[in-house]
Homo-oligomer: A and B are copies of this chain.
Amino acid sequence: MGNSKLYKGSLTTIILKLLETHGKMYGYEITQKVKEITKGELNITEGALYPALHKLEAAELLDVEVAKVGNRLRKYYKLTDKGSVETVNKLKELEQYIRNMQVLVNPKWSIE
């Protein structure tokens, strides 16, 4: 994914949030949207993305709908109700993670 190892573990959160925002998306579209939003800094690899989508589908957080565009196949994913709930959880976890990392890295903010 990114140039740094920090992105490890955040792919699920990214996918869920993008689907919450955009309603439904297909795999390739997700990679392009992430690249666009991060101005090329974060590139989701297919080897990471597709297994992640399949896992989320298996966990019933996503529904899939196959569409044929021209002669090309697309698999649109969207959040299930369960997926919407999980998205909220993941976003809270992200906020907490960021807060914790910030106090760890910015000692001024902690009581010495």
Residue ranges of A at the interface with B (Cβ–Cβ < 8 Å): 2-10, 12-14, 17-18, 21, 34, 37-38, 41-42, 90-91, 93-94, 96-98, 100-105, 107, 110
Contacts and interface: CB of A to CB of B under 8 A. Distances in A.
* Copies of this chain held together in the complex: 2
B37 A110 contact: yes
A93 B41 CA distance: 11
Given A6-B13, A9-B6, A101 B98 contact: yes
A13 B93 contact: no
A106 to B, nearest CB: 9
A18 to B, nearest CB: 7
A93 B6 contact: yes
